[in-house]
Amino acid sequence: MTKLLSVSSGKGGVGKTTVVSNLGAALAEYGRNTVVVDANLTTPSLGFHLGIPLYPKTLHDVLRNEAHISEATYVHNSGLRIVPAGLSVNDLKNTSPDRLADVLLDMVGEPDTVLIDSSAGLGNESIKALESSDEAMFVANPDLPSVTDALKAATLAEDSGTQVYGVILNRVRDHPSELSVDEVESMVGHPVISVIPEDNGVRESIAMKNPLVHHAPHSPASVQMRRLAASMAGVDFKPPKRPGLLRRLLQAFQ
Ligand SMILES: Nc1ncnc2c1ncn2[C@@H]1O[C@H](COP(=O)(O)OP(=O)(O)OP(=O)(O)O)[C@@H](O)[C@H]1O
Ligand SMILES: [Mg+2]
């Protein structure tokens, strides 16, 4: 059965799109039939993270009833499928998220998981993404403003009957000023399902337009995203094997 799972936050810039692109790529690697949808209609960026920003048909066309969602679904070279959003100002001005639930329902049946990359804020756009989902996960950084907004977003999800899957704590540096996992869980009232460390590889992978789980599979954030994907896919997590010293030396000189 298809699960529609939105990745939301409240506060912006906390790592939703990074989580969607990497979790999607890792789920696809674990054999889950996965689609990622850029439901951030005002400031989309999922296509950039996956290295394919421009598409002939997008979710904006689908929401305006000018295309079927199957015409706006593309296959990434990882096997992951993506429904991108349009990047033009015209798209931004002339598209409403009101039909989001209806158009996503058209996908139900074939994929195992549809990951919905939500916009920041708690306005109509992100509420529509929550209402369109069976479950939601909330990305927060380990600080008070971010966790407070995650709590608000989780409360809105519950109000719309969407089950809360859990909280992903991202950009954790283990600094004494940060909120701990226990503190976050007691504030939000939901479990922290993943702790993703601050990792310079993330910025690098976005610049390389390649999800971190492919760009640097052994990096700390990559390992945590793979671990979460494995638990969602119901498979045992095995850390990816590191190449031997000789191969690493050869790669360094390529
Ligand atoms: N674990 C991490 N370590 C280091 N940098 C990170 C990490 N996660 C995300 N970032 C950085 O944070 C920035 C914002 O990430 P991202 O675009 O995924 O956030 P977002 O929540 O989707 O933002 P928006 O609300 O604007 O959609 C990225 O440019 C990336 O460089
Ligand atoms: Mg984003």
CB count in 10 Å sphere of residue 56:
9
Residue pLDDT, tens place only, 168-203: 999 999 999 999 999 999 999 999 999 999 999 999
* pLDDT of the residue at 52: 84
CB neighbour list of residue 186: distance below 8 Å, 6 or more residues apart: none
The domain defined by 3-252 folds into Rossmann fold (3.40.50)
Q: In the 8-state DSSP scheme, what is residue 195?
A: E
Residue pLDDT, tens place only, 56-112: 999 999 999 999 999 999 999 888 999 999 999 988 888 999 999 999 999 888 899
User: Of ligand 1's atoms, which has the minimum distance to the CA of residue 18?
Assistant: 18
Pocket test residue of 199, 202, 213 for ligand 1, highest count of atoms within 8 A of CB: 202
* pLDDT of the residue at 149: 97
Among the listed residues 72, 52, 51, 70, the one whose alpha carbon sits nearest the alpha carbon of residue 60 = 72
Q: Is the pLDDT of residue 5 over 70?
A: yes
* pLDDT of the residue at 74: 95
Containing 224, the helix (H) or strand (E) segment is: helix 220-233
Q: Are 101 and 129 in contact (CB under 8 A)?
A: no
* pLDDT of the residue at 251: 66
Task: For residues 61 and 76, give the distance between their C-alpha atoms in angstroms, rounded to a whole number.
Answer: 20
Q: SS3 for 59?
A: helix
CB neighbour list of residue 132: distance below 8 Å, 6 or more residues apart: 4, 6, 39, 100, 101, 104, 116
Reported confidence tier of residue 33, pLDDT bands at 50, 70, 90 = very high
Give the predicted TM-score (pTM) of the model.
Answer: 0.94
* pLDDT of the residue at 250: 73
Reported confidence tier of residue 41, pLDDT bands at 50, 70, 90 = very high
* pLDDT of the residue at 75: 94
Residue carrying the six token digits 């069976």: 134
Task: For residues 50 and 35, give the distance between their C-alpha atoms in angstroms, rounded to a whole number.
Answer: 13
* pLDDT of the residue at 239: 81
Reported confidence tier of residue 254, pLDDT bands at 50, 70, 90 = low
Q: Are 113 and 27 in contact (CB under 8 A)?
A: yes
Residue pLDDT, tens place only, 121-170: 999 999 999 999 999 999 999 999 999 999 999 999 999 999 999 999 99
Among the listed residues 149, 158, 84, the one whose alpha carbon sits nearest the alpha carbon of residue 123 = 149
Residue nearest to atom 29 of ligand 1 (CA): 203
Domain chopping of the chain, boundaries: 3-252
Task: For residues 77 and 81, give the distance between their C-alpha atoms in angstroms, rounded to a whole number.
Answer: 9
Torsional sign, CA 210, 97, 101, 196: positive
Residue 241 CA, ligand 2 centroid: distance in Å: 30
Residue 149 CA, ligand 2 centroid: distance in Å: 15
Reported confidence tier of residue 252, pLDDT bands at 50, 70, 90 = low
Residue 10 CA, ligand 2 centroid: distance in Å: 11
* pLDDT of the residue at 240: 76
Pocket of ligand 1 (CB under 6 A): 9, 12-18, 40, 43, 45, 120, 170-171, 196, 198-199, 202-203, 206, 221
